[in-house]
Structure 1
Amino acid sequence: MSIKIPDEFPTLKDYLDWLFKKYNTPEFINSDPVKFVHRFSNPKDMEIAGFIASLLAMGNRKIILLSSERLFNIMEDKPYEFVLNFDPFWYEKILNNFVHFAYRNIEGKDLLVVFYLLKQALEKYGTLKNLFLKHYDEKHPTIKQALSGFVKELLSFDPPPKFNGIPESVGGLIPDPEKNSPCKRLNMFLRWMVRKDNVDVGLWSEVDKSKLIIPLDTHVSKISRGLGLTQRKTDTWKTAEEITNNLKKFDPEDPVKYDFAIFGLGIELKHGY
């Protein structure tokens, strides 16, 4: 599939810049999982809300939002307090009936483990940002090393009682870029936390937005191939890096802003976003 740029735009950059301005608006928020970040004003709540909402961001968008709403109801809209005081024994039955029907179902038992890991992270570091910054080095060309360190340490915490280690399914929810996973949802979470504009909240200003990597899923990869931003046939971390590096030709300081443009292009072409 080759995507033709409309005649009124001299270059691909002009077209992508136009799409970015069109879709990077406050109106975007209510139809996107980022809405759960904007629900809160306390940065501690915002980053936990973002992390949890990003984990569920797979599958149909309406189902993503409905499932997230159910989960935030369980948290009583107090995500930081909920995680910090999380009791796996108390919430085992409550979460037992939770299933997010995505491409791969996310079950309550997986979230039980995630919440318990996050609880230990908050007890040790106070915020997820502090954990991430421990592994962040501005000398690194991208956030890959920092994200890998963040994931490895998060998964190194103790599993809840009754669990014999961290389930493989949880490793799938919180993947390591060193294993060549595209880490779509984690990169989306980082986009929310690092960039600051009409949609992204920019809580982690210590991280250079030029080091972010495009959140890569099947829609983004399909459109990126159609635009000639990658020749790779599989959706991997290397593919996400290649697309990002090509987007840097249009904006070296903020390449991931074009995530909005690619999303918008999917709508313009009616690819079912």
Structure 2
Amino acid sequence: MKLKREELKDFLDNKVELYNNPKFIDSDPIQIPHQFSKKEDIEIIGFLTATIAWGNRKSIITNAKRMANLLDHSPFEFVMQHQESDLEKLQAFVHRTFNGYDFIQFITSLNHIYTHHNGLEAIFAKYAEANSLQNSIHKFKQHLFEIEHLERSRKHVSDPLKNSAAKRINMFLRWMVRNDNNGVDFGIWKSLSPRQLSCPLDVHSGNVARKLGLLKRKQNDGKALAELDQNLRKLDVNDPVKYDFALFGLGVFEGF
């Protein structure tokens, strides 16, 4: 399907309008952070939800709810004030290859991030570049695991500088940074701008992007992400990642 750029923009803008809508929340993992109102609670449960966001969407949502329950529905308070004994109940958690030991590691690492690095937003803002947060993701991963950690837990945070598309963490960043008053994304990280975001690239969005001529590269890796980013910025330099709604909606809901 080859459209001129103006036609393509119109087509995708219409799809953004359709899917960037609170009705979208019910079928999406973003519903979990929407159950909270405090900034730190939203970003912590948002990060944990995004971390397990692969596989069947129903089981992602079920298990993210379970995470919130295990954290007593106060993620920030749990991260900051837990005792060693409070972590035992997390051990039974499992989502695919993310298990209870990983969960405990992430809680411990998040405590370190808030205690020594002023929290999640501060780290991403510190290393941000004008049009990219990929270096920020790389640095965030370093800081997350600079304390004693399980080697196995590292694989649950992707590193764009190792040519990963880092789909889940780019999705998390979209949730935190985009602010368009539509009620889906939160826009609570004011120190960053939507123009710095990258599109969460997965099988669905990748396939749709290729059909629309927005992506030529066959693999869904870091190089493909850079190509897609470049093409989406031509459509909207200030908010390129709004097109995630269009690509995802076309792929998942319309079987485009």
- The farther-off stretch of 251-260 and 117-126 is 117-126
Matched, 1:98 2:93: yes
Are the counterparts in 2 of residues 86 and 115 from structure 1 also a CA contact under 8 Å?
Answer: no
Which residue number in structure 2 is paired with residue 258 of structure 1? 243
Q: Which residue of 2 aligns with 1:167?
A: 151
Residue 143 (structure 1) aligned to one of 99, 110, 133: 133
In the alignment, structure 2 segments of 5+ residues that lack a partner are none
Correspondence for 2:105:
113
User: Does the 8 Å CA contact 1:88/1:116 hold for their aligned counterparts?
Assistant: no
1:68–1:268: structure 2 CA closer, same or farther, 3 Å change rule? closer
Task: Give the Cα separation in 1 of the matches to 2:156 and 2:234.
Answer: 31
1: CA distance between counterparts of 2:156 and 2:50?
10
Q: Does 1:205 align with 2:200?
A: no
Compute the TM-score of the two structures, normalised by the length of structure 2. 0.92
Counterpart position of 2:145: 155
User: What is the deviation of 1:182?
Assistant: 0.8
* Partner residue, 2:233: 248
- Higher fraction of helix: 2
Give the equivalent residue in structure 1 for 2:114. 122
Deviant stretches of 4+, over 4 Å? none
- Mapping of 1:170-249 within 5 angstroms? 170-197=153-180, 198=182, 199-249=184-234
Q: Is the 8 A contact 2:33 2:45 kept in 1?
A: yes
Partners in 2 of 1:258 and 1:126 — Cα distance? Answer: 31
Aligned residues: 253
Unaligned runs of 5+ in 1: 160-165
Structure 1: distance between partners of 2:162 and 2:84? 29
User: Would the alpha carbon gap of residues 233 and 33 (structure 1) be closer, same or farther in structure 2, given more than 3 Å must change?
Assistant: same
Distance in 2, Cα, partners of 1:52 & 1:40 = 14
Q: Is the 8 A contact 1:135 1:145 kept in 2?
A: yes
Take 1:229 and 1:218, find their aligned partners in 2: how far apart are those partners?
14
Mapped partners of 2:57, 2:158: distance in 1: 21
Q: 1:144 to 1:10 in 2, by over 3 A?
A: closer
Q: Is the 8 A contact 1:214 1:241 kept in 2?
A: no
Which residue pairs with 1:30 in the alignment?
Answer: 26
